[in-house]
Structure 1
Amino acid sequence: MGANLSYTRVDLSGRVAIVTGANSGTGYETTKALARMGAKVIMACRSQSRAEQAMDRMKSELPDSQLDLQIMILNLASLRSTVEFAEEFRSEHDKLNILCCNAGYIGDNFEVTEDRLEAVFQSNYLSHLLLVTQLVPLMKTSGPDARIVSVSSSGHQVFGKMMLPETNVRAAYSQTVTYGASKLYQILMTGWLHQRLRGTNISATSLHPGAVHTNFNAGGWIGLGIQLGYYLGISRSPEQGAASSIYACVNPELAGQENLYITDCHPATASSTARDVNNQDMLLDYSLYLLKDYITEEGAEALDIHLSALPTPPPEWLAAPTAE
């Protein structure tokens, strides 16, 4: 691997963090590290039982630490669940300092969610965008140095390309291309957030965790490649893979820096496609149109979104995807 994966341990007492997909893999290790530094960490997970098992494991691994953890249910394959999670969080907490958009999904086959959207597009990108719109107003009132961190992938450089509308994938589904596109969209979202949050207390960062051997990538060509890398000693452990996430969430030297892309705990450069402002505008116009019925007035104001002025996508872009 050869990378120097290190981050500064800081005192996070009094700070509140959300980590999506906190019960396994890099999300588990990120959650454990933030809690160990003193943050209250909300474990945003689909499964109550798996989250409880993960929480018990963390506490057994760190018996001398007083970990402040809370489980809240979040299913990113459902826009309704995403909104309900945000509403519940706002009703219980008066601040949010760190939002780590970590959860990811790799589909072996083409799938459609209850919202009639392609599952990887929605789970990895669109619902995280909705979560951001729901929580940014609270983050703006949470004091200095609030951070939105999106766990992307270098797969955006190899496989990522603009696939709008997302329904295009139904004709010839490719796991690698669809996953790569969703990771590309996360970086484009970070660039858009940078434009909308410039000069505020909130910074937006995206990152590549490395090729990490977890249950997340157990199937398909991506999983096979990472498993092979694991046996060859190339792939990273979840703890190693979480290092860049933790670095992005806490390192003091990043305070006030915006629109960063991080690899191996250092600033890096995303692909030209991921840095293209035209791609950014095209993606966000389409995405916000899909989410317009779920975005609050407060969220729209905080991000300068003019919902009534969003361009209507072509009719074929709005057709419900169907597997072929």
Structure 2
Amino acid sequence: MQEKVCLITGATSGLGLESARALASQGATVVLSGRDKGRGEAALAEVRRTVPNAKLDLMLADLTSLTSVRKLAEDFQRKYSRLDVLLNNAGLIIDRRKVTPDGFEATFATNHLAHFLLTNLLLDLLKSSGASRVVNVSSEAHRMGSLNFLDDLQAERGGYSGTRAYGNSKLANILFTRGLKRRLEGTKVTTNSLHPGVVRSGFGLNSEGLFKHLVKLAAPFMLSAEDGARTSVYLAASPEVEGVSGRYFIKRKVAKESKAAQSDEAAEKLWQKSTELTGVGR
């Protein structure tokens, strides 16, 4: 990964932080993106503690705001002339329905729309950088997702369920990967999605109800964040997956998605609706 540049969302803790550490240890320049400056600077210090010569940068962005996502893309392109790996890692799960400043349901906005927008804004840079990669962190929770969400992207019908909204967003991650793969044909850019495993990373602790307590109880039985990041790092850096695109991985091996996640029709419908909401990707 020498001379290569990586951008990781949600990189100030958990999977993102461990992915940043691993890629930095391979010689990459790693740009960590997160919401909070204090946590971001602490993350930089933590990576440098174990990788003293790490080439790191911090860029702040709140993925619940499309304006902030656009600024992240602008700031990155202003500073860097190449992008070899875009690791769309940030994720959110909440118990109660919340709306972003743009008027979107927060889980869908953070887990899908923000990454759809960021990827499309950086696509020209990815293409000009040669054999670059887009890696989307999904989850086996996508199997709980239903294609009905395509007609209710903002989770306004039938009562709000945080786990259902999360499953739908993870299904969207795989459908986005599917749609992006088709649009990248003829280029050297690849895209893949993955399930990191059930990871002890602090994820879910920002929820307010039962889910938060279940996460705490299950923590001793979960993977470490370092182990959970292995598939992300594999897809970002391994020569074994050079040229591989549009696949879903678990434990660094190709896995079969749910039937819903294999729908080209759904992938196109999601792409068109995401384009309407973000104004990119046409």
What TM-score does the superposition give when structure 1 sets the normalisation length?
0.83
1:212–1:226 CA contact under 8 A, matched in 2 = no
Question: Which protein is bigger by CA-based radius of gyration?
Answer: 1
Query: Among 219, 244, 251, which residue is 1:257 paired with?
Result: 244
User: What are the superposed Cα offsets for residues 124-147 of structure 1, whole Å, 9 maximum, x if unpaired?
Assistant: 00010000110010111112x200
1:160–1:182 CA contact under 8 A, matched in 2 = no
- The structural deviation recorded for 1:165 is 2.6
User: What are the superposed Cα offsets for residues 276-311 of structure 1, whole Å, 9 maximum, x if unpaired?
Assistant: 11111111111111112xx3xxxx5xxxx2xxxxxx
User: What are the superposed Cα offsets for residues 108-133 of structure 1, whole Å, 9 maximum, x if unpaired?
Assistant: 21100000000000000001000011
- The structural deviation recorded for 1:228 is 3.1
Query: Among 132, 142, 148, which residue is 1:156 paired with?
Result: 142
Residue 200 (structure 2) aligns with: 213
| 2:132 paired with 1:146 | yes
CA distance in 1, matches of 2:117, 2:61: 12
Residue 27 (structure 1) aligns with: 16
CA distance in 1, matches of 2:212, 2:89: 18
- The structural deviation recorded for 1:18 is 0.2
CA distance in 1, matches of 2:145, 2:117: 24
- The structural deviation recorded for 1:162 is 3.5
| 2:273 paired with 1:286 | yes
Residue 316 (structure 1) aligns with: none
CA distance in 2, matches of 1:16, 1:209: 22
Residue 75 (structure 1) aligns with: 62
The alpha-carbon distance between structure 1 residues 159 and 199, as it changes in their structure 2 partners (threshold 3 A), is same
CA distance in 1, matches of 2:216, 2:157: 27
The alpha-carbon distance between structure 1 residues 168 and 226, as it changes in their structure 2 partners (threshold 3 A), is closer
Residue 42 (structure 1) aligns with: 31
Provide the identity percentage. 35
Query: Match for 1:123: what amino acid?
Result: T
Residue 135 (structure 1) aligns with: 122
Matches within 5 A, 1:175-214: 175-214=162-201
- The structural deviation recorded for 1:166 is 1.5
CA distance in 2, matches of 1:214, 1:161: 28
2:84–2:132 CA contact under 8 A, matched in 1 = yes
Residue 310 (structure 1) aligns with: none
For structure 1, the 5+ residue unaligned runs are 1-11, 306-324
Which stretch shifts more, 164-173 or 19-28?
A: 164-173
| 2:242 paired with 1:268 | no
- The structural deviation recorded for 1:181 is 0.3
Matches within 5 A, 1:301-312: 305=282
- The structural deviation recorded for 1:206 is 0.3
User: What are the superposed Cα offsets for residues 87-127 of structure 1, whole Å, 9 maximum, x if unpaired?
Assistant: 11111110000000000111121100000000000000001
Query: Among 88, 113, 121, which residue is 2:108 paired with?
Result: 121
- The structural deviation recorded for 1:199 is 2.2
Partner SS state of residue 82, structure 2: coil
Query: Among 59, 76, 79, which residue is 1:92 paired with?
Result: 79
Query: Among 42, 45, 49, which residue is 1:60 paired with?
Result: 49
User: What are the superposed Cα offsets for residues 52-71 of structure 1, whole Å, 9 maximum, x if unpaired?
Assistant: 01111121233xx3101100
2:155–2:165 CA contact under 8 A, matched in 1 = no
What TM-score does the superposition give when structure 2 sets the normalisation length?
0.95
CA distance in 2, matches of 1:162, 1:112: 20
The alpha-carbon distance between structure 1 residues 156 and 111, as it changes in their structure 2 partners (threshold 3 A), is same
Query: Among 100, 105, 112, which residue is 2:92 paired with?
Result: 105
- The structural deviation recorded for 1:226 is 3.9
CA distance in 2, matches of 1:148, 1:222: 30
Partner SS state of residue 55, structure 1: helix
Matches within 5 A, 1:159-174: 159-163=145-149, 164-169=151-156, 171-174=158-161
Residue 238 (structure 1) aligns with: 225
CA distance in 2, matches of 1:57, 1:16: 19
CA distance in 2, matches of 1:159, 1:165: 12
CA distance in 2, matches of 1:290, 1:191: 19
CA distance in 2, matches of 1:171, 1:114: 23
